[in-house]
Chain A
Amino acid sequence: MKHDISVIRGDFPILHQEVYGKPLVYLDNAATTQKPQCVIDTVRHYYEKDNANIHRGVHLLSERATADYEAARETIRLFFNAKSSKEVVFTRGATESINLVATSWGNANVGKGDEVLITHMEHHSNIVPWQMLCDRVGASLKVVPMNAAGELEMDAFETLLSDRTKLVGVVHMSNALGTINPVGTMIKKAHAVGAKVLVDGAQAAAHMAVDLQALDADFYVTSAHKMYGPTGVGVLVGREVLLDAMPPYQGGGDMILTVTFEKSQYNDLPHKFEAGTPNIAGAIGFGRAIKYIESIGFKAIEACEKKLLTYAIQKAADFDGLRQIGTAGNRACILSFVLDGVHPHDLGTILDREGVAIRAGHHCAMPVMQFYGVPATARASFSIYNTKAEVDVLFTALAKAQAMFA
């Protein structure tokens, strides 16, 4: 399908507003994307017409809610090309998905003297759960270094891999740098030493096609809200044999078949990992968001986002006093930078008054900030609905900020 920017912008009602009297330029998509009307309508329709608890009612509304919830799971399965819908577990988001694996799989499979190998560019959510696991079981956390451009050192990765490595945790696309990591190659190498791999797809999933059978990932996690879907819902897609062998993460309703005070029998996959009433509207909205992405198609998405990033990178290179943080050859949608004489936090405030929403801070990736020796960066992150004209507004605002502190 052709990527008609005015049609796409028209799909997102929130974009059409002014902030402080200036047209909104939303460039904080790596934090969360905006929601198209179809997702908003789907969630609204659910609450207006279908709201009921799932998997337990005999009445019509419950049947409809259950069918829509399970249909969303199937949409997500197809989108990621997972083998079976048993492999698609709804969670609160990428963070909960990682914690689920680190707790359930980790406790059962990682022990004293073992190693968990992550990378220098992980989001805190793919660092801290592994640190906690290592502390619990006496394993050690190893880190794949990166080069000045913000690319993983693949030689070091191979050196760090050993038969002690039980799990490799790697971000598919870095939220702080935009780097796209060679996860396919990394998975092959990790499997060669018998390690499992968890790929953090929180950023990647909205920007590129992910085929989990081709990738051969053991665990893939993401959040709906970074893919035009609602907040508070995400998925863990895991290999069935692994999920099957894992103990439940939380206990409660829906995750059991029978309960007596002596013993409970756990439900089948994926329900074993979905204790309690889930975010039903969120999951259904997530399914709709994925259909929306599919209606545009990754070919068009990648082409348009690449054009925009190339344009922004060129403007950044020509901008006096701007230092880009992260210049990987293979990157997407993210321009992270510092500006001489203007702290990122001040930039954030000044740009806000120009209508431009960016993120300023450590982006939940403090080790990345430490690597570059900066306390924080400013980050503009792009999406399918952004335009070159908006990039121009960003740079005009940057010049204004620079002038204020000149």
Chain B
Amino acid sequence: MFNLSDLYQQVIIDHTKSPRNFGRLEPCNHDAEGYNPLCGDQLHVYLQINDSNVIEDVKFEGQGCSISTASASLMTEALKGKSVDEFEHLFEAFHTMATADISETPDEAVLGKLAVLAGVKEFPARIKCATLCWHTLKSAIEDGGTARTE
């Protein structure tokens, strides 16, 4: 059986208690809000993308549960300095990891530290908490308003 400690790993607790890249980003040329109506998680992501399509800086603010906060914090860490194309790639990999069959092991080569969130797939009610920030960031890059989990 999957245990709680598989979901709430130390890295996740750590990012919950001291989220990285937390706050408003100024200047920023892309931003979007994300909202999970089910649990009230609210998230705002900010991006500065340069002319060569590289994410120079990324930050987030808002309030949410441990999983959504840690996921956003880990995401910002992973994306700084990455190109938009690399983001698309990571987005797919993350999404697959969060929704894949339990037997599948996450692709740590691609996902790196983000793989600590693999546990959410065993907690169906919490998958959206982990994916909210990714959808929000995607909509910020595509310049589209508010992302919702449903």
Binding site for B on A (CB under 8 A): 20-21, 341-346, 348-350, 353, 360-362, 366, 369, 375-376, 404-405
Contacts and interface: CB of A to CB of B under 8 A. Distances in A.
Interface of B: 1, 3-4, 7-8, 13, 16-17, 38-42, 63-67, 123, 125-126, 129
Given A344-B39, A345-B67, A349-B126, 18 more contacts: A341-B17, A342-B66, A343-B65, A343-B66, A345-B41, A345-B64, A345-B65, A345-B129, A346-B8, A346-B66, A349-B4, A353-B4, A361-B40, A362-B40, A366-B40, A404-B8, A405-B13, A405-B16
Contacts of A404: 4, 8, 13
25 contacts: A341-B17, A343-B66, A344-B39, A345-B39, A345-B41, A345-B64, A345-B66, A345-B67, A345-B126, A345-B129, A346-B8, A346-B67, A348-B125, A349-B4, A349-B7, A349-B123, A349-B125, A353-B3, A353-B4, A361-B40, A366-B40, A369-B40, A404-B4, A405-B13, A405-B66
Contacts of A361: 38-40
B8 A376 contact: no
A3 to B, nearest CB: 34
Contacts of B4: 349-350, 353, 404
Residue from B1, B17, B65 with most neighbouring chain A CB atoms (10 Å): B65
A350 B16 CA distance: 15
Question: Top 9 closest A-B pairs, CB basis?
Answer: A375-B40, A345-B65, A343-B65, A376-B40, A345-B39, A346-B66, A353-B4, A346-B65, A362-B40
Contacts of B123: 349
Contacts of B17: 341, 405
Given A343-B64, A346-B66, A405-B66, A376 B16 contact: no
Nearest to B1: A20
Contacts of A344: 39, 65
A348 B40 CA distance: 14
Contacts of B64: 343, 345, 375
Nearest to B125: A349
Contacts of A346: 8, 65-67
A386 to B, nearest CB: 23
A368 to B, nearest CB: 12
Contacts of B40: 361-362, 366, 369, 375-376
Contact of A375 (B13, B42, B66, B125): B42
Contacts of A369: 40
Nearest to A343: B65
Nearest to A366: B40
Contacts of A20: 1
Nearest to A353: B4
A366 to B, nearest CB: 8
